[in-house]
A and B are shown apart, each in its own frame.
Chain A
Amino acid sequence: MTGGHDHDGARGAVRRAVIIGVGNENRGDDGIGIITARRIRRVLGDTIPIFENDGDGAALIEQWRSAELAIVIDAAHGGDRIGQIKKFSADENPLPAITFPKGSTHNFGLIEAVETAQALGTLPRKLIIYVIEGDSFAFGAAVSPEVLESVGPLIEDIRLLLRREGFTA
């Protein structure tokens, strides 16, 4: 079954904040959430649990469970400028119309996970979703240079968010 994977060795620690990269690294720009999560790990080390998720919404609900702050990074495919970063909060109603590339498990992906967790009352106090507009989502495709160029500024924004919310010094 598809699911998430705790890479950080912080399992069992109190999860006050989590970062989740979503996507499929074998499908071109769809892997940018995973790539960004791995780069954040290099910056933050083990201070924040960082998960990878291949689009399984049920696993997402589990990964952000009990977190005060969850940051989710995914790719979008909605016709915006390639590499454009969009940021929104899960408590926005309605959620913005983001078009995600196909690849979620049985069509139960990020948005469905947000709506289900809302219904269950298990959403983190704050759930911030970043999406980077991608271009190519073909099997085996390389990540687009414009998409890769967005990773640096995105990580900087996430660092500022974590600091502002009191999770990092």
Chain B
Amino acid sequence: MKSKTIKVDYLARVEGEGGLYIKTKGAEVVETKLNIFEPPRFFEAFLGGRHFSEAPDITARICGICPIAYQMSSIHAMERICGVKIDGQLRALRRLIYCGEWIESHVLHIYMLHAPDFLGLHDAIQIAKKHPELVKKALRLKKHGNDIVNLVGGREIHPINARVGGFYKVPRKTEMKGLTEPLKWALEAAIDTVKFTAKLPFPDFEQDYNFVALRHPDEYPFNEGRLVSSKGMDIDISQYEDHFQEEHMAHANALHSVTKSGENYLTGPMARYNLNYDRLPEVAKQAARAVKFPKVCRNPFQSIVIRAIETVFACAEALRIIDEYEEPDKPFVEIEPKAGVGYGCTEAPRGILFHKYRIDEKGTIQEAKIVPPTSQNQRTIESDLRHYVEKYINLPLDKLTWQCEQAVRNYDPCISCATHFLKLKIDRE
């Protein structure tokens, strides 16, 4: 029986270092491995012995793309241990800074990393040459996300202003109002982005995923909610470890997260959207309806449209928060440490980011566990590739190889978080 090897030594436009190996025998895919060789970075180990108040700033260093997610998950875990719940304007500011991170991350991925695949172009430079106005719009839209993070987070790279209990400093009302007009432009640009992405050509490829996301009683989820799945799971985040486990695979420096019964699941924009469509503001629903985008999507290649819809949401939500903003009397609530175990789970741009900490009565971290979204999606990425190659086995090798890379980029994987470039190798025997 004829076997084939498809090999791409360097898969660009993903964050981190990894590789992909696919081996086929006839029409059957016999092996699919997402190899992650980015070295482990031991963040969980060196959190041990540090003060609970240091966790947000230490964990923010895990990722340059989604530091807010790390700050928010660690902060909520610590506050949960100490029995404190933050609400009012401080809570709203946390949602606002998350809006900024989603806008930055989603826009970068949509236009600079994922769109080239659909347009048959190799990179953002080619898009800039062919569609300069598109890239100018993307850069401007992304900048408005950066501006939110800069204002609320203190700076754009590894923000420093979030802390357990709130913020070190809160923005002035006049500073917040300065974001309004740019964000009104951003909202329109995001709606245009939905229209642009919806017209892209998508391969026919749907899968029966187990979607997992946060769900909040009233809001499209950022920081709070129960963990729910499309297969009926509905749990408090403290029960996460009762339902999910991590497995070490020889080919990856990142642990694979699976359900307790060993099944893969999917987290991220597609899961969030499918499980929380009803929580989207009307403007985002309208943007989806205008392009006849369904309320439930199972084609991972269409995740680019969902990122655009979520960008509409993030712009609208940011405008709402800014409009209702009143400067709080104090930027933070003083929190005394208590011995205990606590959990934080928030919606990073790529999906749920779970943190667990155990601290002692002095607030010293005794144990830390961090499960990033890319670890949780790894098994599903491998599954997608297996099924995709099976379905399109007869495609010319170069086209199949490109589409396999594209299938990985559907997930905007952040390998740096999970343990940074991806190599793809497909063996066809």
Please measure, in the bound complex, the distance between the C-alpha atom of A6 and the C-alpha atom of B50, giving whole angstroms: 30
Question: Is B125's CB under 8 angstroms from A115's CB?
Answer: yes
With contacts A116-B128, A120-B132 taken as known, whether A3 is within 8 angstroms of B146 at the C-beta atoms is yes
- Tell me the nearest residue of chain A to B138, going by C-beta: A58
Please measure, in the bound complex, the distance between the C-alpha atom of A106 and the C-alpha atom of B142, giving whole angstroms: 15
Q: Is B54 interfacial (CB-CB < 8 Å)?
A: no
Q: Which residues of A contact B13 (CB under 8 A)?
A: 106-108
Q: Which residues of B contact A58 (CB under 8 A)?
A: 108, 112, 139, 142
Q: Is B17 interfacial (CB-CB < 8 Å)?
A: yes
Q: Which residues of A contact B17 (CB under 8 A)?
A: 102
* Chain A 45-59 interface mask (CB, 8 Å, partner B; 1/0): 000000011111011
- Tell me the nearest residue of chain A to B101, going by C-beta: A1
Question: Is A106's CB under 8 angstroms from B15's CB?
Answer: yes
A-B pairs with beta carbons under 8 Å apart, 13 shown: A1-B66, A1-B156, A2-B157, A5-B150, A56-B157, A58-B112, A106-B13, A106-B15, A106-B108, A106-B109, A106-B112, A108-B108, A120-B136
Q: Is B64 interfacial (CB-CB < 8 Å)?
A: yes
Q: Is B124 interfacial (CB-CB < 8 Å)?
A: yes
Question: Is B155's CB under 8 angstroms from A120's CB?
Answer: no
Question: Is B112's CB under 8 angstroms from A108's CB?
Answer: yes
Q: Is B123 interfacial (CB-CB < 8 Å)?
A: yes
Total A-B residue contacts, Cβ distance less than 8 Å: 95
Question: Is A1's CB under 8 angstroms from B65's CB?
Answer: yes
Q: Count residues of chain A with CB under 8 A from any CB of chain B.
A: 29
Q: Which residues of B contact A59 (CB under 8 A)?
A: 146, 156
- Tell me the nearest residue of chain A to B132, going by C-beta: A120
Q: Is B27 interfacial (CB-CB < 8 Å)?
A: no
Question: Is B129's CB under 8 angstroms from A119's CB?
Answer: yes
- Tell me the nearest residue of chain B to A1, going by C-beta: B104
Contact of B104 among A3, A61, A112, A120 (CB under 8 A): A3
Minimum C-beta distance from B68 to chain A (A): 9
* Ranked 9 nearest A-B pairs via Cβ: A1-B104, A3-B156, A2-B64, A119-B128, A5-B155, A119-B129, A116-B128, A115-B125, A107-B12
Please measure, in the bound complex, the distance between the C-alpha atom of A107 and the C-alpha atom of B113, giving whole angstroms: 9
* Chain A 106-139 interface mask (CB, 8 Å, partner B; 1/0): 1110001001100111100000000000000001
Please measure, in the bound complex, the distance between the C-alpha atom of A112 and the C-alpha atom of B126, giving whole angstroms: 10
Please measure, in the bound complex, the distance between the C-alpha atom of A106 and the C-alpha atom of B17, giving whole angstroms: 10
Q: Which residues of B contact A56 (CB under 8 A)?
A: 64, 157
- B120-171 with Cβ < 8 A to chain A: 123-125, 128-129, 132, 135-136, 139, 142-143, 145-146, 149-150, 155-158
Question: Is B146's CB under 8 angstroms from A1's CB?
Answer: yes
Question: Is A112's CB under 8 angstroms from B146's CB?
Answer: no
Please measure, in the bound complex, the distance between the C-alpha atom of A166 and the C-alpha atom of B147, giving whole angstroms: 31
Please measure, in the bound complex, the distance between the C-alpha atom of A50 and the C-alpha atom of B123, giving whole angstroms: 29
Q: Is B319 interfacial (CB-CB < 8 Å)?
A: no
Q: Is A33 interfacial (CB-CB < 8 Å)?
A: no
* Chain A 38-78 interface mask (CB, 8 Å, partner B; 1/0): 00000000000000111110110110000000000000000
Please measure, in the bound complex, the distance between the C-alpha atom of A16 and the C-alpha atom of B132, giving whole angstroms: 24
Q: Is B265 interfacial (CB-CB < 8 Å)?
A: no
Please measure, in the bound complex, the distance between the C-alpha atom of A103 and the C-alpha atom of B125, giving whole angstroms: 19
Minimum C-beta distance from A31 to chain B (A): 13
Contact of A102 among B113, B125, B157, B421 (CB under 8 A): B421
Please measure, in the bound complex, the distance between the C-alpha atom of A107 and the C-alpha atom of B123, giving whole angstroms: 10
Q: Is A28 interfacial (CB-CB < 8 Å)?
A: no
Q: Is B61 interfacial (CB-CB < 8 Å)?
A: yes
Question: Is B104's CB under 8 angstroms from A116's CB?
Answer: no
- Tell me the nearest residue of chain A to B143, going by C-beta: A62
Q: Is A99 interfacial (CB-CB < 8 Å)?
A: no
Minimum C-beta distance from A1 to chain B (A): 3
With contacts A2-B64, A2-B157 taken as known, whether A105 is within 8 angstroms of B420 at the C-beta atoms is no
Question: Is A102's CB under 8 angstroms from B155's CB?
Answer: no
Contact of B145 among A1, A5, A53, A61 (CB under 8 A): A1
Q: Is A84 interfacial (CB-CB < 8 Å)?
A: no
Minimum C-beta distance from A25 to chain B (A): 10
Q: Is B362 interfacial (CB-CB < 8 Å)?
A: no
Q: Which residues of A contact B150 (CB under 8 A)?
A: 3, 5
With contacts A56-B64, A112-B125 taken as known, whether A102 is within 8 angstroms of B420 at the C-beta atoms is yes
* Chain B 97-115 interface mask (CB, 8 Å, partner A; 1/0): 0000100110011001100
Q: Which residues of A contact B125 (CB under 8 A)?
A: 112, 115-116, 119
Q: Is A83 interfacial (CB-CB < 8 Å)?
A: no
With contacts A1-B149, A3-B146 taken as known, whether A108 is within 8 angstroms of B124 at the C-beta atoms is yes
* Chain B 53-70 interface mask (CB, 8 Å, partner A; 1/0): 000000001001110000
- Tell me the nearest residue of chain A to B17, going by C-beta: A102
Contact of A3 among B15, B66, B157 (CB under 8 A): B157
- Tell me the nearest residue of chain A to B149, going by C-beta: A1
Q: Is B41 interfacial (CB-CB < 8 Å)?
A: yes
- Tell me the nearest residue of chain A to B142, going by C-beta: A58
Q: Which residues of B contact A120 (CB under 8 A)?
A: 128, 132, 135-136
Question: Is B157's CB under 8 angstroms from A119's CB?
Answer: no
Question: Is B157's CB under 8 angstroms from A54's CB?
Answer: yes
Q: Is A168 interfacial (CB-CB < 8 Å)?
A: no
Residue in A59, A62, A106, A112 whose Cβ sees the most chain B Cβ within 10 Å: A106
